[in-house]
Structure formats: C-alpha cells, structure tokens
Homo-oligomer: A and B are copies of this chain.
C-alpha cells in the first residue's frame, strides 16, 4: 500500500516507488514519519493567497505583504516554482500573480480552472499599471499569455511579455532556429 501511495507522485513508477519504500522502511523511518506529518499539515493548512493565488498558510502571502515591493507591476507566472525562478534573478521588484496552471483545452483546463477571473480583478484594482506575462514559452504557456494579454489590453492595461532570445552562454550553432528567428525579430 505504501508503494501504491508513492506512485501517485508525479514521475514515480513502480521501480522508483519500491526503491523509495525500501529506503524509508529500512533506513529512514524518522524521515517517513516527518513526511507523513508534513503531508498532513500541508493538506490541512495550505490555501491560496487572497491577492496572488500562490500557496500560503496565511490569508495573504509574505511577498504580497512586503511593503518594499513595487505595487504598480504585476508579473504573471504559471507556478510557484516559476515565481521563485524569477525571484532568484533579483531583477524584478514588483508583485506576482500565480496562475497555478496554464490553459490546456486538450486536458480540459479552461479559464475558470486557472483563476483568470481572480487575475482580472487583481489587475484592475487601480494600483497595477503594467502586467508582465511570464508564462512558459511552450505552446500552452504562449496560448495562456495570449488569452490573458488580449483580455487585459481590452481593459486598457499595459501588457508586456518576457523577451524571447538566445540564452546567456549559448553558441548560436547549437540554438534552435525558432529561438534565433525570435531573437532577430526582437533585436535591440
């Protein structure tokens, strides 16, 4: 039963689940107990931030409460992991909206499932002047950015998108053609 439960983790098949169960039971029962406590406490207390929709145990998350952040800029990302990637650059001092997913009609993920209404309400609260779309550069991420961008432009907001281009440190020879084409169009 432990093996079946572990298989519900993304990217974990039978063999990995067996290996994990063996490791926990043979070498790290304290780790297994800690994991059980963390899972129970997280499922009981983690909810969504009233402002940015990310995971938090409070009503409003710490980033949204930070008085140092620039309230006129709102960066839209897909997941908390994407948010922390942007945070690590230290190049953005505004606030975030975390979609917690992306539009994916094939999987039945529509505008309601990723809290677009909440985003529209948040973006039009009067303090936001620019919305920066930082969804992933995948087909779904681009479609999500397009839908959000059109809707917010219709409400008169300034909407920008992360620049596409050649990654830092890469050689042109090994960069795919679509990326080079975008970098040419977006040249500055």
Cβ-defined contact, B10 with A31, below 8 A: no
> A34 to B40, alpha carbons, bound, how many Å?
9
The yes or no answer to A182 lying at the interface (CB within 8 A) is no
Decide yes or no whether A172 CB sits under 8 A from chain B.
no
Please, how many angstroms separate the alpha-carbon atoms of A100 and B28 in the complex? 13
What bracket does the count of chain A residues touching chain B fall in? 35 or more
Quickly give the copy total for this chain: 2
Complex Cα spacing A11 to B41, Å:
24
Q: Which of A1-9, A60-68, A124-132, A160-168 contacts B (4 or more CB under 8 A)?
A: A1-9
Judging by beta carbons under 8 Å apart, are B20 and A10 in contact? yes
Q: Quick one: closest B residue to A8, CB to CB?
A: B31
A22-B79, A36-B43, A40-B36 known; A31+B5 contact, CB < 8 A: yes
What is the predominant secondary structure among interface residues of chain A facing chain B?
helix
Within 8 A of B (CB), among A33-76: 33-43, 46, 55
In the complex, chain B residues whose CB is within 8 Å of the CB of A6: 9, 35, 38
Q: Knowing that A1-B42, A10-B23, A25-B46 are A-B contacts, what are 5 other residue pairs whose CB atoms are under 8 Å apart, sorted by A's residue number?
A: A1-B41, A8-B24, A8-B31, A22-B79, A35-B35
**A interface list, Cβ under 8 A from B:** 1-2, 4-6, 8-11, 15-16, 18-26, 28-29, 31-43, 46, 55, 79-81, 100-101
